[in-house]
Amino acid sequence: MTDMYDLMIAGVGGQGNLLASRVIAHAALLEEGLSVRIAETYGVTQRGGAVFSQVRIGRAVSGPLIPKGQAHLIIGLEPIEGLRVAWGYLRPRGGVVLNTRVLLPLQSKMGEQPSLGLAEIRDYLRRMGIPTLVEIDAHRLALELGSAAAQNMVMVGAASAIPGFPLSAESLSQAVRALSRTEHVARNIEALVKGRQEALSLLIKNGIVVGHSGN
């Protein structure tokens, strides 16, 4: 893999951004021996505001902030936030994995801020020329497993299918096992698998090459 793989996880407070970033970091460090940095803010941003995690994986990682135009992958736990971050940080041939369930901010519901639907978001992303855009209905997939709370793990699973993603499915499962609450381990591992399968089938359908390291 390259010296550094940069990804960002964008969502809304309460969507499990923190566990998602930790699972990836744990997999990188403890399963694959790579260096890792996560930049996040806590506290007031957890209260329904936008939450961004910057995750840098590599052999020689220094600071935790991803320069603009460097991110290889955006995981949008929420599509408006996914778009916001892709716009600001995605590299020209980067990929986006997008949860399809829009969570409108209150001010949009009140008519004070613009409202965006999935179609408009998809349109903006297409115009940015993103070669790999994978849309996952993570909410539905998570509910099929028994809880909407597993959405974040569905999205991590989907991300693992993106060409160039440096970590193996096995490493991610081990990380989930280590970090999830006991009663959630089975469900979260299933969520990883479901997300990955869904993403792989979409990528194959769109003719994107899926053979890459770690698989």
Nearest C-alpha neighbor of 10 from the set 121, 64, 85:
85
Q: Closer CB to other proteins, residue 147 or residue 201? A: 147
Tokens standing for residue 57? 């994986």
Least Å from the CB of residue 193 to other proteins: 21
Beta strands 132-136 and 90-99: pairing type? Answer: parallel
The Cα angle at residue 86 between residues 106 and 143, in degrees rounded to 5: 60
Least Å from the CB of residue 28 to other proteins: 9
Determine, following the binding rule CB under 8 A, whether residue 72 of this chain makes contact with other proteins: no
What is the footprint of other proteins within residues 144-163 (CB under 8 A)? Answer: 148
Q: What's the DSSP call for residue 65?
A: P
Q: Closer CB to other proteins, residue 63 or residue 131? A: 63
Check if the beta carbon of residue 83 is closer than 8 Å to that of residue 121.
yes
Largest pairwise CA distance in the chain: 49
Determine, following the binding rule CB under 8 A, whether residue 45 of this chain makes contact with other proteins: yes
Coil, strand or helix: which one is 90?
strand
Least Å from the CB of residue 205 to other proteins: 25
Question: Residue numbers of the site for other proteins (CB under 8 A)?
Answer: 2-4, 12-14, 21-22, 25-26, 29-30, 35-45, 47-50, 61-71, 80-81, 83-84, 86-92, 103-110, 112-117, 121, 124, 127-128, 139, 143, 148
